[in-house]
């Protein structure tokens, strides 16, 4: 079908082939992303860990801090999205906690991640950086607080501990788990990208170059 569209474009207007082909190839490069019917996704209380709620595109990530794929997605893709798009107000990035049962320390890491979200974007980025950078370390010994204490100031760590112990933290994780169940999301990482009430989903690690082409196309059309 797409081959036919490209060939038809050549016959009608060779001068316009490059433009149409580049757009089609950008879309085809996202073959892992399948469009799904628009429906409510994030819980009302979910905060953007980068960007703001008025951004034209929303990216929701269902993630597990102990998941190697989630680490790769954050370090090699989402970190750049936060810098290049969220900071410019083009994208709102929301992280949902989906600690998997196979990862014994994921739930505790999720508590700190959720607590950091309530403290603000700066806190969340610091916590995410520390947890993903040192994932191999704390995934073995479970010394999550030690990793975070070495990355945060004493005052920030005290605030984080207090928020992590708040009952609202576990309640928020339960809400995220419930949301994942309602959306039939079982794999981490899973991304939901919403634009103009249309949501597309992809599971697994998406390369930044591919996601960038997708975002650039939809931000200009």
pLDDT of residue 179: 97
Which pair of tokens denotes residue 218? 């939809």
Q: Is the same domain home to 14 and 85?
A: no
Sheet holding 198-203, edge to edge: 34-36, 198-203, 190-195, 57-63, 91-97
CATH number at residue 132: 3.40.30.10
Residues 6+ apart with CB under 8 A from 135: 65, 66, 68, 71
Rounded Cα gap, residues 210 and 184, in angstroms: 25
Q: Looking at the structure, do residues 185 and 117 belong to the same domain, yes or no?
A: yes
Q: Are residues 5 and 107 in the same domain?
A: no
One domain, residues 62 and 25: no
Domain around 23: 1-31
Instruction: Return the pLDDT at 197.
Output: 86
CB proximity list for 90: less than 8 A, separation 6 or greater: 51, 55, 56, 57, 215, 219
Q: What's the total number of domains in the chain?
A: 2
Does 145 share its domain with 133? yes
Task: Please state whether beta strands 34-36 and 198-203 pair in parallel, antiparallel, or not at all (unpaired).
Answer: antiparallel
Provide the pLDDT for residue 29: 46
- Whether residue 125 is found in the same domain as residue 203: yes
pLDDT mean values, one per 10 residues, the chain (221 residues)? 32 38 42 45 66 96 98 98 97 98 97 97 98 98 97 98 97 97 97 94 96 95 88
């Amino acid at each position: 079908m797409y081959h036919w569209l490209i060939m038809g474009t050549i016959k009608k207007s060779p001068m316009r082939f490059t433009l149409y082909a580049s757009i089609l190839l950008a879309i085809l490069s996202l073959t892992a992303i399948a469009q799904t019917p628009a429906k409510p996704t994030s819980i009302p209380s979910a905060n953007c860990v980068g960007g703001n709620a008025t951004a034209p595109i929303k990216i929701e990530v269902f993630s597990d801090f102990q998941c190697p794929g989630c680490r790769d997605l954050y370090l090699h893709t989402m970190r750049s999205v936060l810098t290049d798009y969220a900071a410019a107000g083009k994208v709102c990035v929301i992280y949902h906690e989906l600690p998997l049962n196979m990862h014994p320390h994921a739930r505790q890491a999720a508590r700190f991640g959720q607590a950091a979200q309530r403290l603000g974007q700066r806190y969340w980025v610091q916590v995410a950086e520390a947890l993903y950078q040192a994932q191999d370390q704390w995934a073995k010994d479970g010394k999550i607080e030690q990793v975070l204490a070495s990355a945060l100031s004493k005052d920030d760590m005290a605030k984080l501990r207090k928020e992590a112990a708040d009952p609202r933290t576990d309640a928020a994780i339960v809400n995220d788990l419930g949301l994942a169940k309602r959306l039939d999301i079982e794999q981490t990482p899973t991304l939901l990208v919403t634009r103009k009430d249309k949501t597309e989903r992809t599971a697994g690690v998406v390369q930044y170059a591919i996601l960038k082409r997708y975002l650039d196309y939809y931000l200009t059309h």
